[in-house]
Structure 1
Amino acid sequence: MGLFTRVDTIVVGVTDLDEATAWYKDILEFTVLYQTKEYVVLQVGEGQTPITIEEIDLAEVATTSTYPILYASEIDAVHKTLQERNVAVTPIENDGTNKFFNFRDPDGNKIEVCYFE
């Protein structure tokens, strides 16, 4: 066993916490697990690692290179649903092992969706 037990959360910086919370709930269907004035912890489906959104300066949002990759067993349906919700998604790519596509939240944070068997 290593030093750490698990990944606790992945933090995504946003410029307006209330607007971002509504977007992640309404568009991505995440569930709020815990909320303060500074951050919101969101449950992603049945996964064990939540995503935490916290309000930060716009300059910090633009410089981050960390991004979440969400697994979707029905990637084609998720891709279509996001398009219907006016989310600009990239075409689904297939590298021979994984199918994947990307999109950005309202603050420009990259989010990737993947599927593999």
Structure 2
Amino acid sequence: MNILSSKVGALFIPVSNIESAREWYCSILNLEPTFEIIGGHLCCIPLDNNGLNLVLDSNIYHEDSTYKNPAFHFNTDDIHGAYQFLQERKVEFVTGIENGHWFNFKDPDGNILMVCYC
């Protein structure tokens, strides 16, 4: 019996405004922004059918709490299409497409996120 599971259940992102963060993340993930805001500061966005959630949390946000390096990456099977998709949504890029496999960009709060061709 394992006390701790090797399965990750959630990825937390500090955000300054829970409503606008929900809109923005749903926009880049092509999801309807209908996910409930819990307790006025949390929004859980399901990322897959295995229970992995992106948890936006405005209670953990402060100016120094944003990710300066990606803590995870979003998968894509079309790195150029993903770059163009985000470019159309006017995200701020930190890198171009590197080595044909990945790029970094910022969310509205300055968190560094990554997209990777896997």
**Bin of the TM-score, shorter chain as denominator length:** 0.7 to 0.9
Q: Report how many residues are paired.
A: 113
Aligned CA RMSD, in angstroms, stands at 2.5
Equivalent-residue separation in structure 1 for 2:51 and 2:57 (angstroms): 19
1:4 aligns with 2:9: no
Counterpart position of 1:92: 97
Moved over 4 A (4+): 30-34, 45-48, 63-66
Q: Deviations over 1:66-103 (max 9, x none)?
A: 62211111111011010011112221111xxx711000
1:61 to 32, 50, 65: 65
Counterpart position of 1:83: 87
TM-score, structure 2 as length reference: 0.79
Identity value in percent: 27
Q: Which runs of 5+ in 2 are unaligned?
A: none
Contact 2:67-2:112 within 8 A present in 1 as well:
no
Contact 1:33-1:43 within 8 A present in 2 as well:
no
Counterpart position of 1:38: 41
Q: Which runs of 5+ in 1 are unaligned?
A: none
Residues 112 and 66 of structure 1, relative CA distance in 2, 3 Å threshold? closer
Counterpart position of 2:116: 114
User: 1:49 Cα shift?
Assistant: 1.7
Find the residue that maps to 1:58 and give its secondary structure. coil
Counterpart position of 1:15: 16
